[in-house]
Chain A
Amino acid sequence: MTENNRHDSDGERTAPDGGTTAAQRHRETNYLEEEVNLLKPSTEFMRDHLRLIWTGFIIWAVLVFGPVTATALAPETMTMTIPGGFPLHYFLVAIGAPAGALILSVWYARRRDALDEKYGISHGGDA
């Protein structure tokens, strides 16, 4: 394939000196030269993004599998009636999980937009 990048492979890894901003370092990164590995983020952007993703994922896992597991472990406590008439486990699963996932999604999408802003990226178009 034609290799007519503006960057030479050596130019990419400009060490981020204290004075540059995330947006500047972003412009100096050639994302096509950096490995993609879920467990080993190779760019500053990817590190920031994955921190967001894993935080969300852990909260999600607790939200989705936490209540049902707690119910299996401590059925007495988890099935007690809460104000509103619901047994606790039923409320956490039927209402807590879907509503929680929705709130978490809004949180992620907003934080992801903030990440774009930090790196000086604009998607243009509507939005």
Chain B
Amino acid sequence: MSAEAHASSNYYVPHGTQWPIIGSIGLFTTMLGAATWLEDLAFGKYLFVLGLLIVLFMMFGWFGTVIRESQGGVYNAQVDRSFRWGMTWFIFSEVMFFGAFFGALFYARVFIQPWLGGSSNSLFTNLLTWKGYEPTWPSNGPANVGGDFEAMKATGIAAINTLILLSSGVTVTIAHWGLKEGNRKKLCWFLLFTVILGFSFVVLQAHEYIEAYTKQNLTLGSGIYGSTFFMLTGFHGLHVTIGAIMLSVILVRSLKGHFTPDNHFAFEAVSWYWHFVDVVWLGLYIFVYWL
């Protein structure tokens, strides 16, 4: 996979790569594992882990290659633009993924609840099937699925986490300024702060979950409220974790001095991703915790 290091004015087209097929095999194994695991077959979880390892291996290899090529200076401004378009649209697809779950939450609150309560043309839903059910939110449905629970509050951990994410958005921006000024110190320090904030968010959320399960009797099984709450915050938490890991990688690369004021796509990609995670959280805070 060696490339000519000089042609920086040319559009670089690699010749052949083994990483994608490894990635495919990895994902395939992962999902095969997950599926067999869910259908509780013994070897499922091992397959699953194995698959994840393969995917991890692929990521190291693939990103490694790209970084080496980038350092080798085979990428020109146009290649850089391609990467930017790629990242932009990837983030857009993520937005749509969360959109599906926000949509579900919206539908459950604005439509399903009143309908179970007999409004619109489902009067008899309430008169015959769910006799006298009063629409409410938070709700675990007319059958009180999962038993009574204590809903999440907008104050407390959620509020703290909001502050954390918002400030992490600021720190990463400052780090970016530092990078643009060529101020390594500023860059690394504020990146470090960002990473710390990111992980502390994850820790706090883990704590919140434990509280929910142990003290509030609020679980995935707590009807539609539990479902939407855990799926939304869960997927978001997953993204925060990934984002924080990516930030750590960027931190290491900054320490190695990979980035120059005018060539640091990787850094920007990660910061975009981080801001995206940030914005999603605002949505969560408003619609899941607050309203």
A, B: real partners: no
Show the binding face of B for A, using Cβ within 8 Å. none
Show the binding face of A for B, using Cβ within 8 Å. none
